[in-house]
């Protein structure tokens, strides 16, 4: 009887040598005359254990990792094909503490299935959401998504159902779904893991979105740095189309929808939705003033639902299990779950999907395992390069949109980057401004000139030049950037800088009283 061995195809696992490990497993099996079938799955999200090899045993899947090619003969010797003990063994995968406490709704299949096998997808509740949706009217689908409380996971946290309602009600000869897979935030990888590890979920979510708003075509705008995701998507789209899950008259329902993958141009600003639409139209990505909202006048001037990968990939389970099932997770106005990406100076970083309300401390200490350096954590940045920093006094904050915003921060795309006590927060603030300057599209003056002036002012403060004058000038500048910029790049650059100034004035050589 053939034994199934899983070796991830996720880019993080590949970077850590998963291909060589997979080859070694196949070669060793052949040498020993064992009947082994290697499946290249997505990643379970335990990045520090990659390549994480799993064996399917009668008692369930058993995990070993990180497995280097030279570990493979020893694993065979230890009888890993039947779940035998080995120094790299972690026991049954789904009993591992790191995974067990998670609430995986959007990531339910990631790491479990063969991402490119449609039959595997169908065997794991795949396309059940679309089947439900095909029985509902567009307005009923929109109502389900609204009731689920799902908010945009790309960063702006706008209610998805309300956005869809606007597109549904707009009258036009053509409408579009535009999936934002530019994933530019530092320390984030949940979009990539979905696209590589469960591409059909995104395809299904987009198809449901198409039916909900009356769009017959969708684009996925993927950053060029994600070649594996691009390949996985293209392959899954072809498979879905051949099986009648995409194209004209999907499964005899009368609904038509198709998808094309477009590769981004390598600019952070192309992740901003209006700039992304320009780029999709083949132009240089520049910010368009809103209004008009893309939902009314989007791609090629037509009503367009622009949504993040995770937002769209969360839709199938909402339609399958019902709005209430999803909304029962979470707290306050932050409903459902968030795939949180733990990165930076952590022992055990990776992807943790939890209901909103999980505390930073649980994430950093329990899941993240504390810092990799063993030194005390000093700062965490939440929500990408334009997110605020927090210090340890905030570690008991629950992760939820409103709580973070009350504490002058953002959830953003759910990326958390941890720094230990060797971090220089003045340098971090300087870098935030420099980043804004490098990525600025240059259209509006507060960001075009302001980001460069901000970098210069922080440098002057760091060098001890006219500290208090330059500090005052910086505060005025951040106010102008926040309130006068055309888009959120310039408009949010104050978050990392102000939080660093407020919480770590000593790093700037400023008195705390100055900064209050």
Partner 1 sequence: MWNEIRGLREGVDYGTPPRQGQPVTLTVDGVEVTVPEGSSVMLAAVEAGRAVPKLCATDMLESFGSCRVCLVEVEGRRGFPASCTLMVAPGMEVRTQSERLTQLRKGVMELYLSDFPEAEIADGWSEFHRTLDDIGIKTHGYGTGRVHFDLPVDDSNPYFLFDPAKCIVCSRCVRACEEVQGTFALTIQGRGFDSKVAASQDDPFMQSECVSCGACIQACPSHALVEKSLFSGGYERA
Ligand X SMILES: Cc1cc2nc3c(=O)[nH]c(=O)nc-3n(C[C@H](O)[C@H](O)[C@H](O)COP(=O)(O)O)c2cc1C
Residues that bind ligand X (CB under 6 A): 152-156, 158, 180, 182-184, 268-269, 271-273, 306-308, 311, 487-489
Interface region with partner 1, contact rule CB under 8 A, candidates 4-12, 64-72, 148-156, 463-471: 463-471
**Distance in angstroms (rounded) separating the CA atoms of residues 458 and 467:** 9
Task: Give the one residue of 115, 370, 446, 505 binding partner 1; rule: CB under 8 A.
Answer: 446
Among 193, 457, 495, 500, binds partner 1 (CB under 8 A): 457
Residues 66-125 that bind partner 1 (CB under 8 A): none
What sections of 222-293 are H helices per DSSP?
A: 227-242, 273-280
91 vs 476, beta carbon nearer partner 1: 476
Q: Write the DSSP symbol of residue 36.
A: E
Nearer to partner 1, 68 or 449 (CB): 449
**According to CB under 8 A, which one of 406, 476, 506, 509 is a site residue for partner 1?**
476
Smallest separation (angstroms) from ligand X to the CB of 91: 36
User: H-helix or E-strand containing 221?
Assistant: strand 217-222
447 belongs to the binding site for ligand SF4 (CB under 6 A): yes
Is 497 a binding residue for ligand SF4 by CB under 6 A? The answer is: no
304 binds partner 1 (CB under 8 A): no
In the complex, least distance from residue 278 CB atom to ligand X, rounded to whole angstroms: 12
* Shortest separation between residue 43's beta carbon and ligand X, angstroms: 20
- Please identify which residue in 440, 462, 471, 495 interacts with partner 1, judged by CB under 8 A: 440
Counting other chains too, the contacts that 365-373 makes at CB distance below 8 Å and 24 or more residues apart are 365/395, 366/101, 367/98, 367/342, 368/342, 368/418, 370/346, 371/345, 371/346, 371/347, 371/418, 371/420, 372/345, 372/346, 372/347, 373/345, 373/420, 373/422
Three state DSSP letters for 109-124 = CCCCCCCCCHHHHHHC
Neighbouring residues of 202: CB distance < 8 A, sequence distance ≥ 6: 179, 194, 195, 220, 233, 309, 312, 313
The binder of 38, among ligand X, ligand SF4, partner 1, none, by C-beta within 5 to 8 A per type, is none
Q: Which is nearer to ligand X, 230 or 423 (CB)?
A: 230
Distances (CA, A) of 34 to 4, 37, 84: 11, 10, 15
Binding residue for partner 1 (CB under 8 A) from 396, 438, 511, 514? 438
Alpha-carbon gap, residue 108 to 326, rounded angstroms: 13
Element (H, E) at 85: none
Q: Does residue 51 have a cis peptide bond before it, meaning omega lies within 30 degrees of 0? A: yes
Q: Residue from 194, 295, 410, 489 that binds ligand SF4 (CB under 6 A)?
A: 489
CB atoms within 10 A of CB 324: 12
In the complex, which residue's CB is closest to ligand X? 152
Is residue 452 at the binding interface for partner 1, with CB under 8 A as the rule? yes
CA dihedral 235, 237, 239, 245 (to 10 degrees): 170
CB closer to ligand SF4, 336 vs 450? 450
Kindly state whether residue 426 participates in binding ligand SF4, applying the rule CB under 6 A: no
Stretch that binds partner 1, among 100-108, 114-122, 151-159, 475-483 (CB under 8 A): 475-483
Q: Which stretch binds partner 1 (CB under 8 A): 136-144, 305-313, 361-369, 434-442?
A: 434-442
CB of 148 to ligand X, least distance (A): 13
Question: Of partner 1, ligand X, ligand SF4, none, which one does residue 154 interact with (CB within 5 to 8 Å by kind)?
Answer: ligand X
Nearer to ligand SF4, 55 or 441 (CB): 441
φ, ψ of residue 403 to 5 degrees: the values are -60, -45
**DSSP-assigned states of every residue in 119-174:** HHHHHTTTTHHHHHHHHS-HHHHHHHHHHHT-B-TTTT--BHHHHHHHHHHS--S-
Query: Residue 17 and residue 22: Cα distance in Å, rounded?
Result: 9
Binding stretches for partner 1 (CB under 8 A): 267, 289, 291, 437-453, 456-457, 460, 466, 469-470, 473, 476-477, 479-480, 483-486
Contact residues for ligand SF4, defined by CB under 6 A: 269, 287, 440-444, 447-448, 485-487, 489-490
């Amino acid at each position: 009887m053939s034994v199934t061995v899983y070796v991830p195809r996720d880019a993080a696992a590949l970077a850590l040598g998963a291909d060589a490990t997979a080859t070694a497993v196949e070669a060793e099996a052949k040498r020993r005359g064992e009947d082994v079938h290697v499946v290249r799955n997505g990643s379970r999200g335990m990045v520090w254990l990659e390549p994480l090899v799993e064996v399917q045993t009668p008692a369930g899947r058993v995990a070993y990792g990180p497995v280097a090619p030279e570990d493979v003969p020893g694993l065979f010797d230890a009888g890993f094909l039947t779940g035998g003990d080995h120094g790299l063994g972690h026991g049954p995968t789904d009993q591992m503490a790191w995974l067990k406490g998670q609430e995986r709704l959007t990531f339910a299949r990631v790491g479990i299935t063969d991402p490119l096998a449609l039959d595997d997808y169908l065997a794991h509740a795949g396309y059940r959401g679309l089947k439900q949706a095909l029985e509902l009217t567009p307005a009923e689908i929109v109502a389900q998504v609204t009731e689920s409380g799902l908010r945009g996971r790309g960063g702006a946290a706008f209610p998805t159902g309300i956005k869809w309602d606007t597109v549904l009600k707009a009258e036009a000869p053509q409408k579009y779904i535009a999936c934002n897979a530019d994933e530019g935030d530092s320390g984030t990888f949940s979009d990539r893991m979905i696209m590589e590890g469960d591409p059909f979920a995104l395809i299904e979510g987009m198809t449901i979105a198409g039916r909900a708003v009356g769009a017959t075509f969708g684009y996925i705008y993927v950053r060029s740095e994600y070649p594996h995701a691009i390949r996985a998507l293209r392959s899954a789209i072809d498979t879905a189309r051949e099986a009648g899950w995409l194209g004209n008259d999907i499964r005899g329902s009368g609904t038509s929808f198709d998808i094309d993958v477009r590769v981004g141009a390598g600019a952070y600003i192309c992740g901003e939705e209006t700039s992304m639409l320009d780029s999709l139209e083949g132009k240089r990505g520049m910010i368009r003033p809103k209004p008009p909202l893309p939902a009314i006048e989007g791609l090629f001037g037509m009503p367009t639902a622009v949504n993040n990968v995770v937002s769209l990939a969360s839709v199938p389970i909402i339609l399958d299990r019902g709005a209430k099932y999803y909304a029962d997770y979470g707290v306050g106005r932050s409903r459902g779950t968030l795939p949180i990406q733990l990165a930076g100076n952590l022992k055990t970083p990776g992807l943790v999907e939890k209901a909103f309300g999980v505390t930073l401390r649980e994430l950093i200490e329990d899941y993240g395992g504390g810092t990799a350096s063993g030194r005390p954590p000093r700062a965490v940045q939440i929500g990408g390069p334009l997110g605020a920093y927090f210090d340890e006094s905030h570690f008991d904050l629950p992760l939820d949109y409103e709580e973070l915003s009350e504490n002058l921060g953002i959830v953003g795309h759910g990326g958390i980057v941890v720094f230990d006590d060797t971090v220089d927060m003045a340098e971090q603030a300087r870098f935030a401004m420099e980043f804004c300057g490098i990525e600025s599209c240059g259209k509006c003056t507060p960001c075009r000139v302001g980001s460069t002036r901000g970098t210069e002012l922080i440098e002057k403060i760091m060098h001890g030049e006219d500290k208090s004058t330059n500090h005052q000038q910086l505060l005025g500048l951040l106010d102008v950037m926040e309130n006068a910029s055309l888009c959120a790049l310039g408009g949010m650059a104050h978050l990392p800088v102000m939080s660093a100034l407020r919480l770590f004035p000593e790093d700037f050589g400023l008195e705390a009283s100055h900064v209050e």
